[in-house]
Structure 1
Amino acid sequence: MNPPTTDTTLPATRGCPMHRAARPKETTAVPARAWHDLPQPPGWPVLGQLPGFDVTRTHLTLERWARELGTPYRFSMGPGYRAMVIDDPEVVQQISRQRPETFGRGGRMQPVMSEMGFNGVFSAEGDAWRTQRKLVMGSLNATHLKGWLPALCRITERLAQRWDRAAADGRALEMTDELKRYTVDVTSLLAFGQDPRTLDHGGTGTGNAIQQHLELIFPAIMRRVMTPFSYWKWVRLPADRRLDRAIAAVQQHARQCIDEARRRLPGADPTAPRHALESMLLHQAGLGLSDADLVANVVTLLLAGEDTTAHGLCWTLFYLAAEPALQDTMNLQAQAVLGARNVPADTAQLAALEPFEHLALEAIRLRPVVPFNGFESPHETLVAGIAVPARTKIFSLARPPMLDPSRFPEPLRYRPERWATGEVDGRAYQPFGAGARVCPGRSLATAEMRLVLAMLLRRFRVELACRPEDIGEICALTMLPSRMPVRLAPR
């Protein structure tokens, strides 16, 4: 099946902003280049590129400098802050194979997350990371999906009912909010066994509060990670005090969930845990983890599960709205798989919904929800032929290699069928990370994508309720749309 497609430019940056011709691969060994030979953007003495740097546009700024300077290049955010930017997926793969022994996340990620009490598998390093990785991977094992599918389907049905009401009223929906409500409900239920029901007429007080607190935390992490000094340890701005309250509320919620799950632990089946937290508790003693470790990983699951999947789905709706013929094609496919149902009856039907996952994979190729990754080595090392000093931040850009025509034919077109025909370079496509730190929640995220998109396209037609060019990109650790108003029409 080859559904019709149209040329789709990236409205936040216009035209062909990230594209440049594929560079020839090096075929001969060359001497290591010196760090100071790398190009750098114009900046200030001592402060480097810090003055005027807009954290909410971090990925766009790094991509613009890559177009202007080529890669790798270097930049600084003040005294003692060295950074290098790369966009070669082969180099990223090499770095990923050397984690965690040679490279870690480094930078300010771990201290910032530790300060917030959220130093879980996402930010931990060394032996602590190995232990927590084993814990989280086991709790999110793809084999649990069969047991979790009924809960996923129930929440997807609630989303369908909510959208039915909006479509009947002719109301435009802000999908950045709608899809976060869905992912909060799914992640809360599957991660620690509690359903906040944020989709039910606005949700309960607790459900709404948790979602609002999470919306403060993610941008704050990004802001603090990119700030070269911890001003908040001496000066507490109103935003810092709001963040303190949000962190305290989320930590308290996590501890309550742990206490409740522990009370129910005597009835647990180790071979079929009811949720990820129960799996963690069953393995806590054997791995020697504290309750603080559990809190950190419960919150990590909630943070990661809410934003990444919701934003990926939002960008998918952006592209689908421009493709009415593709919507019609996928409507027929949803009916063929689901019949009169909104959701799959079993895992076999879920597997048959793979083309709906392709819709999302293609959208996040063009709009990567994780637009860059960070690495750091405690020792001087060689990266991309550069002698990189110890403690240098290395940022790898996700989008440029995914817009390389040698890796993805017609790279600026939204063509979901390329995922079925194999016209993709898997090494250049890394929205879920790579190597040892690949996202442990990928199976759950892609299942949510299949469920939501199949339900949506079976029941509704989708159109944007604003001009495409009015939708920008915001960097808040993940990359989200500035807005995504969508109007649904019943089929």
Structure 2
Amino acid sequence: MIANTIERKITVPGPRVSPLFGHITQVLNFVGDSIKLSSQLFDKYGSVVSLALGGGTNVYSPYPNCPGTVLGYGADVVREVTTQHDIYHKCPLTARIYSKRNDSARTQPFRHFLVGLFGVNGADHRQHRQLLMPAFHKSRIEAYRDEMVVITSSELEKLQVGEVVDTLELMRRLTMRIATKTLFGMDFSENGDRFTTLLKEVFGKFGSSAVLALPFDVPGFPFHKLLNDMVELDATMRDTIQQKRSAGIDSGDVLSMLIQARDAETGITLTDDELLGHLGVIYFAGHDTSANALTWTLFLLSQHPQVAADLLDELDSVLHGEAPSIEQLQQLPLLERVIKESMRVLSPVPWNGRVISQDTTFSGYDLPKGTEVFVSIYHTNRAPEIYSDPERFIPQRWEQIQPSIYEYNPFSAGSRVCIGAGFAMMEIKIILAMLLMRYRLEFLPQQVNAKGLIVLCAENGLSMRVCKQDREFNRGVGGVSGNVSEMVDLVE
């Protein structure tokens, strides 16, 4: 037993922690503010570090006997992890909660909830990705343009000049409607629809600290309420799948296409559980990550008036106040640079988590099977040798640089590069273009804390005043406090 413990010990440098509660405290600190803690560790120990010296931590892995957690960043680290698909495995987005899937009949939805492509590896992953690929073909994505425009227009029409809105909540509502329309073929607005409520409740709670800390199915506990909602959502989605199976046609939405998908060699189709897993992941990725990317972009534009003015000039000159066509989206280079720079500075997905499937060597260190590895997209996107003044928001830098996919990594790389990247970029461009031509969102002095593990979001939202597009871009500049003021150099 002693020999086995020594054999599994992680030798990557890292901080010493108390043997009593130190490992738990370190995990909680990382989950609470992963960017702050990892920045401190990288500064002290280098680009590869153990969350705790010798291991003993478990943040992400749902499997038993996790030896520990290793963090890394940089192009070489990204390349090492993303090109060795059979060694660096993904796990369901529910992370440690996934281990509860067989506890009872009520926890069975965890077998597929937020599993999808994240829960399959090796040959299974390749097969599932092939089945999903047609739903994200360029022509298929472009067919969603009209629906995106209609939904965006309807949300913008509801805004009142002078009102203060939570920009993050607004973007979540907008991207949620687009996600449900393109996924299920139904536009669930915020009109009290039960399906919409369930989506908000389940996806809003599954990663909460209260659920993670007390995962007990006891009345009054958040985990109990989560299971109630999940069981109901699961039944509702199964009914939707059955209705579309019975219809037997591809009605243009992702679900109906996935139901029809069939492996060319084996004839295998996706089961209901597999469909539910993929739909949950696609919904989450196409909803929350895009909402946060949009929110951070609007925030950065509010603090960089010249960039905002130049961008509006481009939009007006090409679009003349109209929603962009597919062709016109290719004629907006500054819009593209603004989005790319926003996702570089405040990465909507800050980490790429993996669990190694076999003993391996990582950046020169021997790691035992089961070790969880977190690659920091956030820190990789700030490498000073590639990005001068990396803490500054400078969209024009993209006129001169062409970093590799390992040096700029918002959508991952390798065989697990984000399948919905094209969808996300089109959605973000359309929403920004239509909003900015109609309104100016004015930042109000407030504390903005950017935190998150799966997504980087404004912890308490982002309040902005809706103004008509009056080009008064200098209004609302400044007054930023909170950790985002340490993450981004806001001095122009």
The one-character-per-residue Cα deviations of 1:283-337 (angstroms, maximum 9, x if unpaired) are 1573332111111111221122111000011111111111222222211211111
1:173 to 160, 165, 168: 165
Distance in 1 (CA, whole Å) between partners of 2:151 and 2:89 is 37
| Number of positions where the alignment pairs a residue of Structure 1 with one of Structure 2 | 435
Cα pair distance change 1:434/1:398, threshold 3 Å: same
The 5 Å alignment of 1:14-33 reads none
Distance in 2 (CA, whole Å) between partners of 1:49 and 1:389 is 18
2:445 to 466, 471, 478: 466
Question: Are 2:176 and 1:184 aligned?
Answer: yes
The 5 Å alignment of 1:50-89 reads 50-51=24-25, 53-54=28-29, 55-74=31-50, 75=52, 76-77=56-57, 80-89=66-75
What letter matches 1:77 in structure 2?
T
The 5 Å alignment of 1:33-182 reads 37-45=11-19, 47-51=21-25, 53-54=28-29, 55-74=31-50, 75=52, 76-77=56-57, 80-99=66-85, 101-106=86-91, 112-113=97-98, 115=101, 116=110, 117-118=112-113, 119-163=115-159, 166-167=160-161, 170-182=162-174
Residue 237 of structure 2 is matched in structure 1 by 254
The one-character-per-residue Cα deviations of 1:413-437 (angstroms, maximum 9, x if unpaired) are 1011222333645422111111111
Name the SS for the 1:49 alignment partner. helix
Asked if structure 2 preserves the Cα contact closer than 8 Å seen for 1:356 and 1:449, the reply is no
TM-fit CA distance, 1:477: 2.0
Question: Are 2:347 and 1:359 aligned?
Answer: no
TM-fit CA distance, 1:236: 7.2
Asked if structure 2 preserves the Cα contact closer than 8 Å seen for 1:102 and 1:377, the reply is yes
Cα pair distance change 1:359/1:222, threshold 3 Å: farther
Name the SS for the 2:71 alignment partner. strand
The 5 Å alignment of 1:330-349 reads 330-341=311-322, 343-344=323-324, 346-349=325-328
1:309 to 265, 290, 294: 290
Name the SS for the 1:407 alignment partner. coil
Name the SS for the 1:462 alignment partner. strand
Question: Are 2:461 and 1:478 aligned?
Answer: no
Distance in 1 (CA, whole Å) between partners of 2:357 and 2:219 is 31
TM-fit CA distance, 1:210: 3.6
Name the SS for the 1:173 alignment partner. strand
Cα pair distance change 1:385/1:156, threshold 3 Å: same
Cα pair distance change 1:295/1:211, threshold 3 Å: closer
% identity of equivalent residues: 21
TM-fit CA distance, 1:351: 2.0
Asked if structure 1 preserves the Cα contact closer than 8 Å seen for 2:163 and 2:465, the reply is yes
Distance in 2 (CA, whole Å) between partners of 1:145 and 1:358 is 21
Cα pair distance change 1:445/1:218, threshold 3 Å: farther
Distance in 2 (CA, whole Å) between partners of 1:382 and 1:338 is 52
TM-fit CA distance, 1:68: 2.4
The one-character-per-residue Cα deviations of 1:35-64 (angstroms, maximum 9, x if unpaired) are 654322231116543126232323332232
Question: Are 2:268 and 1:287 aligned?
Answer: yes
Name the SS for the 1:249 alignment partner. helix
- Backbone CA RMSD of aligned residues: 2.6
What is the TM-score with the length of structure 1 in the denominator? 0.82
TM-fit CA distance, 1:450: 0.6
Residue 28 of structure 1 is matched in structure 2 by none
Distance in 1 (CA, whole Å) between partners of 2:148 and 2:344 is 25
Distance in 1 (CA, whole Å) between partners of 2:363 and 2:183 is 39
Asked if structure 2 preserves the Cα contact closer than 8 Å seen for 1:402 and 1:429, the reply is yes
Residue 432 of structure 1 is matched in structure 2 by 411
